[in-house]
Homo-oligomer: A and B are copies of this chain.
Amino acid sequence: MSKRTKLKDIADRLGVSITTVSRALNNKADINDETKREILELARQLEYRPNSLAISLRRNNTVPLVGVILPIINHYFFATVLKGIMSKAHLHNSLIIVGESLQDEKKEKKILNQFMDQGVSGIIIAPARNSNFEENIIPILHKRIPVVVIDRMYDNYKGNYVLTNDYNAAHKAVQHLLDNGYKKIAHIGSVDDKSIGTERKRGYIAALHQAKIDINEDYIILNDIDNPDLAIEKGFNATAKLFELPNPPDAIFAVTDDVAIGVIEYAKENNISIPDDLGLVGFSNAKMSNYIRPRLTTIEQNGFAMGQLAFDFFNKASSSNGEVFQKSFELNLIVRESSVQKSEV
């Protein structure tokens, strides 16, 4: 692999100055047509490609670049967060450079480093499940580049973030099931050392606690649901396990709409009626949740607003001195068919 050709290479080979080469390639005046032709020709041969760093540096026209890292890019929630970020970025003439960590903290770190090399002026990150704060984030903060953490949380993190109050939301979901007469409420959750799974489980437990209902450990099944394609299957299998119990639950709070879909699939195959035999609440308000039957009660998660706010926070953090911006969104319950027994309607 030879070195990348630069202006000087072309200039030397043709016995002209760098300036002349630059003029030719940029279509400027003050250059002979024949010279220009030769330069263009040689540039083509040598596969010349301008070094954008040098150009931007010289022109002093740095387009603010913001790096965004998401665990999974084609997940509706994250894609919508990205959309929110981009909508704001577009207004501020910023550009968005994105990376997908695939829940791999090594990959996350590599992308982060590339982002720094590329010269981002900020980072918005939904951390990978096992993301290492010390190793991945601290070096960026040392470079004094603003970081906004979104969706998931680091322990003892003191910086900018945009989160959702998963604890309250889960509490609300379970309370809703209780209010509708369900008593034996199970939880199909996710193993997660970051906030999400844990918080939702905490909310679930708290709601039962408050209702003075004992926690039945058999009613709690935790899965790795990172892969959205497998999440449905995981939900299906977990439901099967729950119904093998001597005393199966009469309601399920699923950590995700995908998981809830799995519950529904199992119920259909086994003639379990939702909501009559089994109440069900999901989480996320995936598009699908309004079109499957029964229509799924779920928690609305406004990814778009979160993305927008994340960009706003980055923006504020850029022009302020160490001030910290934090927001935790409260989430609404959307009541549909899956959690309200028909006799009760």
Q: What sequence of 0s and 1s flags, for each residue 255-296 of chain A, a beta carbon within 8 Å of any chain B beta carbon?
A: 000000100110010000000000000000001100111000
Q: What sequence of 0s and 1s flags, for each residue 36-55 of chain A, a beta carbon within 8 Å of any chain B beta carbon?
A: 00000001100111111111
Decide yes or no whether A118 CB sits under 8 A from chain B.
yes
Decide yes or no whether A335 CB sits under 8 A from chain B.
no
Decide yes or no whether A319 CB sits under 8 A from chain B.
yes
* Contact (A44, B118) CB under 8 Å given A86-B100, A288-B287: no
* Contact (A53, B62) CB under 8 Å given A74-B79, A82-B73, A83-B73: yes
Which of A88-96, A191-199, A204-212, A241-249 is found at the contact surface with chain B?
Answer: A88-96
| Residue pair B288, A118 in contact (C-beta under 8 Å) | no
| Residue pair A52, B118 in contact (C-beta under 8 Å) | yes
A292 neighbours in B (Cβ, 8 Å): 288, 291-293
Interface residue from B61, B75, B291 paired with A288 (Cβ < 8 Å): B291
A48 neighbours in B (Cβ, 8 Å): 144
Number of copies of this kind of chain in the complex: 2
* Contact (A95, B114) CB under 8 Å given A47-B321, A143-B50: yes
Decide yes or no whether A137 CB sits under 8 A from chain B.
no
| Residue pair A117, B79 in contact (C-beta under 8 Å) | no
A49 neighbours in B (Cβ, 8 Å): 121, 144-145, 318
A82 neighbours in B (Cβ, 8 Å): 73-74, 98
A229 neighbours in B (Cβ, 8 Å): 287
Decide yes or no whether A345 CB sits under 8 A from chain B.
no
Decide yes or no whether A232 CB sits under 8 A from chain B.
yes
Q: A261 to chain B: closest CB distance in Å?
A: 5
Cα A338 to Cα B156 in complex, Å, equals: 52
| Residue pair B99, A86 in contact (C-beta under 8 Å) | yes
A48-B144, A74-B76 given; name 18 further pairs at CB < 8 Å. A44-B144, A47-B319, A50-B119, A52-B65, A52-B116, A52-B120, A53-B53, A54-B57, A59-B117, A65-B97, A73-B83, A76-B79, A79-B79, A86-B98, A90-B99, A93-B114, A95-B97, A95-B114
A/B interface sample: 25 pairs, CB < 8 A:
A43-B144, A48-B144, A50-B144, A52-B62, A52-B119, A52-B120, A53-B119, A54-B57, A56-B118, A57-B57, A61-B117, A62-B117, A65-B97, A73-B79, A75-B79, A76-B79, A86-B100, A90-B99, A90-B100, A90-B111, A97-B97, A98-B98, A261-B291, A287-B288, A291-B292
